[in-house]
């Protein structure tokens, strides 16, 4: 980020793709020399809110990173950015993305042989329903939903189902055997409680392994950065449009002081 503000092309200039007023604001917060302890918000007006302001900011050329600006140079990505300025459009696409992300590396199907006895921690009616969908012998092509009644909705039904012993996995049932986890499960049945906690969690996840500080160091592996970039920071839907140079530029903007 520091290079983008003060020496974008090596001639002491500012990135022309950056909104001038926003650049002035960043310069006030990030004066030279670079200070690794100085941080700025990636989404300055709504960093603690679940909304679509990130995309509004992009169309105003207020993206903090070069890769943000690069989204507008790709026709498909730019179309997504413009459409996601509408919160309802973004929310629906975000929900679908979370469903797909939750299925990465996971088969939610009947890929193991059924045991002779049903797990007593599983609701009997739900077990009967699953057996009807997954008769023996096991078929790896058969799939079931992890959240049976609301797999395509952003809600808290998953936690309602857990308290009714309708979790598809043993790990779901195990949540109720831990006092603290069980308390969270019960509280998250209320959608407003869950929504607030979910928002906080997304903020923390977006900060995993990333400091938006201002001095260059190479201690952060590019692999970790790419992972965080694809999952976090509001670029989830358009991350496939990033090229290597974009990622390297953004990686260099993330500053870590070597310990």
The pLDDT tens digits of the residues spanning 89-136 come to 999 998 888 887 766 654 444 544 444 567 888 888 998 988 998 888
pLDDT tens digit sequence for 13-62:
898 889 899 999 989 988 988 888 888 888 877 878 888 999 999 999 99
Q: Are 168 and 109 in contact (CB under 8 A)?
A: no
Q: Do domains 2-101+210-253 and 108-198 have the same CATH topology?
A: yes
Give the pLDDT score at 49: 83
Q: Which residues pair with 139 in a beta bridge?
A: 110
Give the pLDDT score at 209: 52
Residues in the chain: 259
Q: Are 62 and 45 in contact (CB under 8 A)?
A: no
Q: Is the pLDDT of residue 252 over 70?
A: no
Buried b or exposed e, range 25-36, using 16+ CB within 10 angstroms: ebeeebeeebee
CATH architecture of 108-198: Orthogonal Bundle (1.10)
Question: Which one, of 129, 145, 188, lies nearest residue 163 by Cα?
Answer: 188
Q: Is 21 annotated among the ligand-binding residues?
A: no
Buried b or exposed e, range 127-164, using 16+ CB within 10 angstroms: beebeeebeeeeeeeeeeebbeeeeeebebbbbbbbee
Give the pLDDT score at 215: 36
Q: Is the pLDDT of residue 175 over 70?
A: yes
Looking at domain 2-101+210-253, does it have CATH number 1.10.420.10? yes
What is d(CA 120, CA 164) in angstroms, rounded to the nearest whole number? Answer: 13
Q: Give me the half-sphere count of Cα atoms (radius 13 Å) on the Cβ side of residue 1.
A: 32
pLDDT tens digit sequence for 189-245:
999 999 898 888 887 776 655 444 443 333 334 444 444 444 444 333 333 334 444
Q: Is 249 annotated among the ligand-binding residues?
A: no
Give the pLDDT score at 152: 79
What is d(CA 169, CA 128) in angstroms, rounded to the nearest whole number? Answer: 15
pLDDT tens digit sequence for 141-159:
888 888 877 777 888 999 9
Give the pLDDT score at 50: 86
pLDDT tens digit sequence for 50-68:
889 999 999 999 988 888 8
Query: Where do the structural domains in the chain lie, given as residue ranges?
Result: 2-101+210-253, 108-198
């Amino acid at each position: 980020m520091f290079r983008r503000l003060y020496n974008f092309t090596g001639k002491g200039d500012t990135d022309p793709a950056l909104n001038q007023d926003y650049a002035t604001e960043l310069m006030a917060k990030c004066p030279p020399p670079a200070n690794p302890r100085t941080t700025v918000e990636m989404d300055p007006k709504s960093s603690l809110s679940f909304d679509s302001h990130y995309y509004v900011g992009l169309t105003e050329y207020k993206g903090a990173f070069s890769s943000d600006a690069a989204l507008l140079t790709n026709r498909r990505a730019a179309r997504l950015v413009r459409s996601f300025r509408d919160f309802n459009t973004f929310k629906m696409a975000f929900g679908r993305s979370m469903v797909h992300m939750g299925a990465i590396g996971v088969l939610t199907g009947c890929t193991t042989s059924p045991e002779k006895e049903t797990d007593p921690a599983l609701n009997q009616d739900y077990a009967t329903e699953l057996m009807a969908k997954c008769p023996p012998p096991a078929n790896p092509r058969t799939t079931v939903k992890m959240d049976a009644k609301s797999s395509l909705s952003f809600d808290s039904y998953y936690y309602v189902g857990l308290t009714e012993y309708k979790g598809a996995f043993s790990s779901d049932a195990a949540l109720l055997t831990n006092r603290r986890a069980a308390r969270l499960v019960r509280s998250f049945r209320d959608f407003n409680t869950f929504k607030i906690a979910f928002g906080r969690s997304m903020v923390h996840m977006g900060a995993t392994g990333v400091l938006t500080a201002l001095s260059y160091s190479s201690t952060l592996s590019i692999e970790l950065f790419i992972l965080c970039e694809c999952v976090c920071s509001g670029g989830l839907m358009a991350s496939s449009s990033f090229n290597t140079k974009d990622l390297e530029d953004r990686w260099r903007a993330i500053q870590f002081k070597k310990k």
